[in-house]
A and B are shown apart, each in its own frame.
Chain A
């Protein structure tokens, strides 16, 4: 359990929040810049001190101003990964990692070797930090944070300073950490895609207020709360492989609402997959389209209709046998199809993005 009470007053920004977060898995703090997500992370790390705060991480109380308790950053069992890698430029890669080992007095080399292997940086040890690519630098920074053997890993937009290709050099390692280490992670991001790929729990923030906090799939589908993010609106679907069609290069995914076809090389039966379906990739029809090229057709019920980010569009929330879907359609189509809450429709899913294989 991570408990946090944070009260911030700055010129032009006020925040007064209370959060209870799960003590394991990845919790994403998601919102635009200026929403207060980094402020929360820095308060957890003790890099910013705000009055009348309370902070508890899995039983360890780090701040309780009611009792006058405040643990300084260097005495908190946390790992912090900054947006830019912030490696010490006066030290080599090895020197940066040894910096931690000296201070934690870790003699055991197995941890060191394990972390090196986990992030694939063993071959970089003797390099200067300035000779590394952005992705390599960030992996070293993550390794350095892990070497502190933290009770919690704090990540402040660790991929935001990287371009698309470099992001792909780091993201799989984050997924690996998530899959193999039992360290809770607070992950600050404004990228819906990263959050969709990594998060188990999502806190949606806007201008210092918590709009929602809950399991990732539920929170990301609650579009009413995040109209500013509507361009990227979409849902997460989790399921497992229950078949495949090698001839056509398709994998069959069993999700709550039925079977979805995903273009992917064959995967073992039972493999857990996480998909993302964007609202703009879903169209609606009243009857089952018979001659459609779209493979994924699901019967669904309209549960809500919201305005979208343009005047011409609306976002329709659907329930497809337990799986939530969002569809972004024009308001004209909405009126012509007579879509109201409770209406039965067929959703055509034009594209699914495979996010992760667990």
Chain B
């Protein structure tokens, strides 16, 4: 095996980051997606556009603004300093925050599509069967949106693993703290260590392909986008 301890550290860090970010995004994204799918508010288009922004912005732009807002003179920076936890850039929590923003549309949009696809009818049916709105959400809407959750989790996870530009801008290249696989590969290539780069890049390629293959096989026709 060509991979050294630093490579394994990067792999471990990447999985930790992607798992944490996916779980957080499913938690935060579900109510936002539900609201986007059901609301008739005029604010909907504004929120929808904000959620979609990371899809179109270059990661360097996103990373730049994250760096500025999390920095000593940015609003998040002031807040974290006031909390007494210091500044987030070049730390793992900073990376998590950046990844949340970066991967947000990949989780929220499939969820929103799934909730919209359910339509009004099953919710009305549940109400006529004595189910309260909260009961209906957990026992009708969530189970019916299951394909959307699988899609959202897969895309969110895979996309967080593949993040590079944002990490470089806000996380730098700190071993075991912010150096994820994509950055590690970049480092190997810069140092002309092509064998190690191959192992890591090939692993990412296979992993991403298998994840999407499973998704498209077992969740056919329900994959958003």
Residues of A at under 8 Å CB distance from B?
45-47, 72-75, 78-80, 82, 84, 86, 88-90, 99-100, 103-104, 144-145, 148, 154
Contacts and interface: CB of A to CB of B under 8 A. Distances in A.
A89 B146 CA distance: 12
Contacts of B126: 74, 88, 99
A148 B128 CA distance: 9
Name the residue among A75, A103, A144, A145 with the largest chain B CB count within 10 angstroms: A103
Contacts of A90: 140, 143-144, 146
Interface stretch (B99-107, B129-137, B190-198): B129-137
Give the secondary structure class of B's interface.
Answer: helix
Interface of B: 121-122, 124-133, 135, 139-140, 143-144, 146
Given A82-B121, A86-B121, A148 B130 contact: yes
Q: Which 6 residue pairs spanning A and B have beta carbons closest together?
A: A80-B128, A73-B127, A103-B130, A90-B143, A74-B127, A86-B125
A145 B125 CA distance: 9
A88 B122 contact: yes
A164 B121 CA distance: 25
16 contacts: A45-B128, A73-B128, A74-B126, A74-B132, A82-B121, A86-B122, A88-B126, A88-B140, A90-B146, A99-B129, A99-B131, A103-B130, A103-B131, A144-B129, A148-B129, A148-B130
A287 B7 CA distance: 108
Residue among B121, B128, B130, B146 with most chain A CB within 10 A: B128
Nearest to B124: A47
Contacts of B146: 90
A74 B135 CA distance: 10
Given A100-B130, A103-B130, A148-B130, A88 B135 contact: no
Nearest to A76: B128
B122 to A, nearest CB: 6
Given A78-B128, A100-B130, A144-B129, 15 more contacts: A47-B127, A74-B128, A74-B133, A75-B130, A82-B121, A82-B124, A82-B125, A84-B121, A86-B121, A86-B122, A90-B143, A90-B144, A99-B139, A104-B130, A148-B128
Contacts of A104: 130
A74 B123 CA distance: 11
Contacts of B129: 74, 99-100, 103, 144-145, 148
Contacts of A74: 126-133, 135
A321 B125 CA distance: 48
Contacts of B143: 90
A89 B130 contact: no
A233 B139 CA distance: 47
Nearest to B119: A86
Contacts of A154: 128
B121 A72 contact: no
Contacts of B130: 74-75, 100, 103-104, 148
Nearest to B143: A90
A146 to B, nearest CB: 11
Contacts of B122: 86, 88
Contacts of B140: 88, 90
B118 to A, nearest CB: 10
Contacts of B144: 88-90
A103 B127 contact: no
Contacts of B132: 74
Nearest to A42: B124
B149 to A, nearest CB: 13
Nearest to A80: B128
Contacts of A73: 124, 127-128
B186 to A, nearest CB: 44
